[in-house]
A and B are shown apart, each in its own frame.
Chain A
Amino acid sequence: MNVVIIDYGAGNTKSVQFALSRLGVEAQLSSDVERIKMADKVIFPGVGHAATAMSKLVETGIDHIIPSLHMPVLGICLGMQLMCEYSHEGDTQGLGIFKGKVQAFDSSLKVPQIGWNAISKLRSPLFKEVEEASYIYMVHSYYAPLSEQTIGVCEYGIPYSAALAHKNFYGTQFHPEKSSSVGAQILKNFLAL
């Protein structure tokens, strides 16, 4: 299977690559548009600031490519947030694949949210054989609100989208590559889509 992890200088790509390798898949890191288009599966990671990451996507022209892809695409953490319409972090225009505006957690909470939280209301093949209330690892200060595209819910002050899906596009706010055996199952499910 030809899996490409989009490498645009704003993601913990190594960890994603290692997690796939533990599942027996040797993914390539690439920022090459043609390579991305040829992949069977595409993973779009991201950490850091939304505006910085988005400008890197624009520089490489990858911002135009992602919404046009037809194979299963998985955005992780900031990757998922950039696939939304808009992010309040740095007043950033997103790729518009998922509905909704990414917003900051309430200032009464400890931010960033760091640690293991439970996911529920799972409804997607992405969560095959994943039990309700399984723990996944989260690190973020902004969140995507609930919408009809929500396929998994987490709670931190309020309920929000732990995962989103639309057509061939999937996004997880959590890090499956860092979420122990639950995360490995989710990545396995993604590879099987």
Chain B
Amino acid sequence: MLTKRIIPCLDIKDGRTVKGINFVGLRDAGDPVELAAKYAKSGADELVFLDISATEQKRKTLANLVLEVAAAIDIPFTVGGGISSVEDVDLLLKNGADKISINSSAVRRPELINELATTYGSQCVVVAIDAKQIDGIWKVHLVGGKQPTDINLLDWAEEVANRGAGEILFTSMDHDGTKQGFANQALAQMSNLVSIPIIASGGAGNTKHFFEAFTVGKADAALAASIFHYEEIAIPDLKKYLKEKQLPIRL
């Protein structure tokens, strides 16, 4: 049986991990490769690297990092952050990334999804969607959730699936950082609407939240950052809990 996936997300700036890293026993907490290897060993099902740097050398630095990660870890990983062209994607996939994630660039030019799916296959195209509610209606936001658009969340989810996305990474900006649980209602609506896998993101605070994202929210995977980095939840404990709750989980 296909299992539900647990995905730690690592924020990367200039080739280094940012955001509080609290792991015991790491020689260099800022080293994404060492952190990735640690997560892989602890039972993470996949990893996501989100590059938030804005330097001119960004492309080259990120490509080098991808190569190092691919050499070190034996689970799949996705790379995102500022990817806007087929050339960007080509470089990252050639260096060993399994999937790439696009966000604002897909909203600005939706054809990019079709181009990537045709060239490399849907399986490596993740479309990340940041959204929050405005007057009770879910609207897609750009630039890390700062810039609102007129686009309705579910319309966009349907469109990206039709254009060939292999997966949707949905982050609720209303829930992100709150540690009050995922946006389960919106997740369930999205999951019923499109026939591609959905990764839930934003709001994880405890193990029960993950259980609810998979059951109420019908998510196929759940992503979190700080609760893993600060070891508020250890991945082996989380997976054991979910397995005890009868969910299909890889232990």
Contact = CB atoms under 8 A, between A and B. Distances in A.
Interface of A: 12, 14-15, 18-19, 21-22, 47-49, 107, 109-118, 135, 137-141, 155-156, 175, 177-181, 183-184
Interface string B76-115: 1000000000000000011110100000000000000000
Contacts of A48: 119-121, 123
Contact of B45 (A111, A115, A139): A115
11 contacts: A15-B98, A18-B70, A47-B123, A110-B220, A112-B166, A114-B166, A117-B3, A139-B76, A155-B1, A178-B74, A181-B74
A179 B70 CA distance: 13
A110 B5 contact: no
A156 B2 contact: yes
A64 B106 CA distance: 40
Contacts of B3: 115-117, 135
Question: For A113, A116, A135, which residue has the most chain B Cβ atoms within 10 angstroms?
Answer: A116
Specify the main secondary structure of chain B where it touches its partner.
Answer: loop
A14 B95 contact: yes
B29 interface: no
Given A48-B123, A141-B123, A184-B74, 6 more contacts: A15-B70, A47-B120, A115-B4, A118-B1, A178-B74, A181-B74
B122 A141 contact: yes
B8 to A, nearest CB: 15
A187 to B, nearest CB: 10
A179 B195 contact: no
Contacts of A111: 195-196
A22 B40 CA distance: 15
B196 A112 contact: yes
B51 interface: no
Contacts of A177: 74
A111 to B, nearest CB: 6
Contacts of B175: none
B40 A110 contact: no
A95 to B, nearest CB: 19
Contact of B74 (A19, A107, A113, A116): A19
Given A47-B120, A115-B5, A117-B2, A21 B197 contact: no
A115 B250 CA distance: 10
Contacts of A15: 70, 96, 98
A107 B166 CA distance: 14
Nearest to A50: B121
Nearest to A175: B76
Contacts of A178: 74-76, 98
A139 B250 contact: no
A76 B123 CA distance: 15
A116 B76 CA distance: 10
